[in-house]
Amino acid sequence: MIIGSKKFVEKIHSAYLPETLHKEIPQQRDLAKGLDPVGKLKQAERMLNCDLDHFRRVPIITKSNRDNRDLLVFCVWKTGLLSNEEIGHLSGMTYSSVSHIVSSIRFRIKENRELKENSNQINSLYKM
């Protein structure tokens, strides 16, 4: 338990917790419960100027929109807070599609500087 202002708690989190949480460590799992992945996803959508609801409604999306959608899915997946099935439900796809996106975007982030920068920017939202 940490007593202090929200800013103080965030400072402690950023100083002493790893960037990605380990599901097997109970203390980190409990801490992750305080994070709202859906709220952070909405912030990331605004950051990338895109809308997952729109992606769910259209049958085909453009390449740039696909990159944004894949990046959003990847960043939520990377937190470990939601299962592939839950992420799929949020983004309007199957858990299998989420799995394919994750493996694809990992490679594309290494090759594409813009994707990497956007990924780092979105990951900063999830840093605890």
Q: Is the residue at 90 inside a domain?
A: yes
- Please report whether residue 117 resides in a domain: yes
Summarize pLDDT for 67-97 with one digit per residue, the tens: 888 988 888 888 777 888 988 888 888 989 9
pLDDT at position 128:
43
Q: Does residue 29 lie in a domain region?
A: no
* CATH code of the domain containing 47: 1.10.1750.10
Asked if residue 59 is part of any domain, the answer here is yes
- Are the CB atoms for 85 and 93 separated by under 8 Å? no
User: Is residue 40 within a helix (H) or strand (E), and if so which, with residue range?
Assistant: helix 37-48
Q: Are 39 and 85 in contact (CB under 8 A)?
A: no
Q: What is the total count of domains within the chain?
A: 1
74 assigned to some structural domain: yes
100 pLDDT band (50/70/90 cuts)? very high
pLDDT per residue as tens digits for the range 103-112? 999 889 999 9
In a domain, 22, yes or no: no
44: in domain: yes
**Could you read off the pLDDT of 33-70 as tens digits, one per residue?**
556 777 778 888 888 888 888 888 888 888 878 888 89
Q: 55: domain range? A: 36-126
Q: Using CA atoms, how far apart are residues 30 and 40, in angstroms rounded to an integer?
A: 18
Q: Distance (Å, rounded) from C-alpha 24 to C-alpha 117?
A: 29
What letter would DSSP give residue 78? H
